[in-house]
């Protein structure tokens, strides 16, 4: 039946009329497989840089399609190339593979009971951000594109990426390492598309934004060195706790008083502060760690200038010394949707989801390491709805929580989008 659908779908195609391929019918035919793959990945999740069985499962399937497959990229990544044998652009499609150290709640028949190791501790593992659906959707698109290979012009590179959630302590991972290892080379990729399932967006809808769509992430650490003293005699101290308090309040004014927030949002947050061990001892040292989130390059550069300026000045005013480490141990650039590419794909999204279901959305201050690909080549990253229509947005569970849930029916649109992005980009170029 699937082969019959293919022949019917492409019978009337011309080389630059890919829109005539009945992608909806092909996606409907492969949907049961997509759901089966998703359930397998969900039941057997693996943590970042430990996606060994996941990678083997993906690689075996891609090899069964007759694709040229490379494994062990950036530790556990899998990359496959579909060559149409005809000249044309190289289109990359990306899915992430890792789960999270979260204990799943609920009674799904494919609920995870897996245990893994995270930073030396035994932890439960769950696909609490939907990466299981991302892999399944990309495998579905790979099936369709392979089966209509004769209609393509150019190459498609399928990227299954490890460690999007961040590598374990002391390790490197994710998109940054894949780029360093040449995933966008041999063949040289012209454009990349990615998507993310959303538990708070209705099934059947796609959300997108042009320009900065997810924030850059820059963790930082501040260590304040003071002078220890008895809490009863504070004048004998150089108090790093009071110094830290002044720094925390002052660095909030970088965003509230120095950035033009009507252009783009930004965040500077302190997430952890440690110092001292008794109520009656002013400690010698306080350590703080925090995060910076920005949606444009100018704001990021301004905060990089302002944060050390304020830290140094406040420490000096208190007679203390301060060390700032920025970035701390990793960073993500801005997930920046190339405006020209985004505009060229609006019609694709409207045709695929329906005009009313292709929604321009505001940027978010969450982050995605898809941004490392977009630093090198034009890219488009969109959100695909996974929330059942009978569940309100208020009642839908958040990502990275034990209750996280997305409906299988949302994946068909993702398969269609990945396929149509590829076909329409090839048609345009």
Asked if residues 266 and 334 have their Cβ atoms less than 8 Å apart, the reply is no
For the chain, the first-to-last Cα distance in angstroms comes to 32
Burial class (CB in 10 A: 0-12, 13-18, 19+), 7: exposed
CA distances from 337 to 276, 341, 379 (A): 45, 8, 6
Asked if residues 84 and 171 have their Cβ atoms less than 8 Å apart, the reply is no
Helix axes 131-147, 52-64, angle to 10 degrees: 10
Cα 274 from chain centroid (whole Å): 30
Q: Three-state secondary structure along 57-114?
A: HHHHHHHHCCCEEEEEECCCEEEEEEECCCCCCEEEEEEECCCECCCCCCCCCCCCCC
Residue 164 annotated to the active site: yes
CA distances from 183 to 53, 188, 303, 332, 400 (A): 21, 9, 31, 18, 28
Question: What's phi and psi for 50, nearest 5 deg?
Answer: -125, 25
Tally of CB atoms within 10 A around 288 = 23
Q: C-alpha dihedral over 298, 300, 304, 309, to 10 degrees? A: 70
Which of the residues 46, 51, 96, 98 is marked catalytic?
Answer: 98
Strand partners, 118: 121
Strand partners, 115: 124
Residue 98 annotated to the active site: yes
* Tokens read off for 128: 């609490």
Q: What are the residue numbers of the active site?
A: 98, 164
């Amino acid at each position: 039946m699937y082969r019959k659908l293919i022949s019917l779908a492409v019978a009337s195609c011309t080389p630059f009329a890919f829109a005539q391929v009945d992608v909806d019918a092909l996606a409907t035919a492969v949907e049961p497989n997509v759901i089966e793959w998703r359930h397998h990945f969900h039941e057997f999740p693996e943590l970042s840089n430990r996606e060994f069985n996941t990678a083997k499962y993906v690689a075996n399937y891609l090899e069964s399609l007759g694709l040229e497959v490379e494994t062990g990229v950036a530790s556990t990544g899998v990359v496959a190339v579909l060559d149409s044998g005809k000249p044309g652009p190289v289109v990359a499609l990306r899915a992430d593979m890792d789960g999270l150290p979260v204990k799943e709640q609920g009674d799904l028949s494919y609920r995870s009971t897996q245990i893994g190791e995270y930073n030396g501790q035994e932890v439960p593992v769950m696909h609490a951000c939907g990466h299981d659906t991302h892999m399944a959707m990309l495998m579905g698109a790979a099936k369709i594109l392979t089966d209509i290979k004769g209609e393509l012009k150019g190459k498609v590179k399928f990227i299954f990426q490890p460690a999007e959630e961040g590598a374990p302590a002391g390790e490197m991972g994710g998109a940054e390492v894949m780029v360093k290892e040449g995933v966008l080379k041999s063949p040289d990729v012209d454009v990349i598309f990615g998507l993310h399932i959303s538990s708070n967006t209705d099934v059947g809808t796609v959300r997108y934004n042009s320009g900065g769509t997810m924030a850059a992430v820059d963790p930082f650490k501040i260590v304040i060195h003071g002078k220890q003293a008895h809490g009863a005699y504070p004048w004998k101290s150089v108090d790093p706790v009071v110094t830290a308090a002044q720094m925390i309040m002052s660095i909030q004014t970088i965003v509230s008083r120095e950035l033009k927030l009507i252009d783009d949002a930004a965040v500077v947050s302190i997430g952890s502060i440690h110092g001292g061990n008794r109520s009656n001892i002013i400690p010698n040292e306080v350590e703080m760690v925090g995060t910076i989130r920005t949606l444009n390059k100018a704001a990021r550069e301004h905060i990089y200038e302002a944060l050390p300026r304020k830290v140094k000045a406040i420490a000096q005013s208190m007679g203390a010394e301060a060390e700032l480490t920025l970035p701390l141990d990793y960073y993500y650039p801005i997930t920046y949707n190339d405006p020209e590419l985004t505009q060229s794909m609006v019609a694709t999204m409207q045709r695929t989801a329906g005009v009313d279901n292709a929604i321009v959305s505001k940027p978010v201050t969450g982050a995605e390491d898809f941004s490392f690909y977009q630093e090198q080549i034009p890219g488009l990253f969109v959100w695909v709805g996974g929330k059942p229509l009978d569940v309100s947005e208020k009642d839908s569970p958040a990502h990275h929580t034990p209750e996280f849930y997305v409906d299988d029916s949302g994946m068909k649109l993702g398969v269609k989008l990945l396929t149509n992005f590829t076909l329409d980009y090839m048609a345009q170029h």
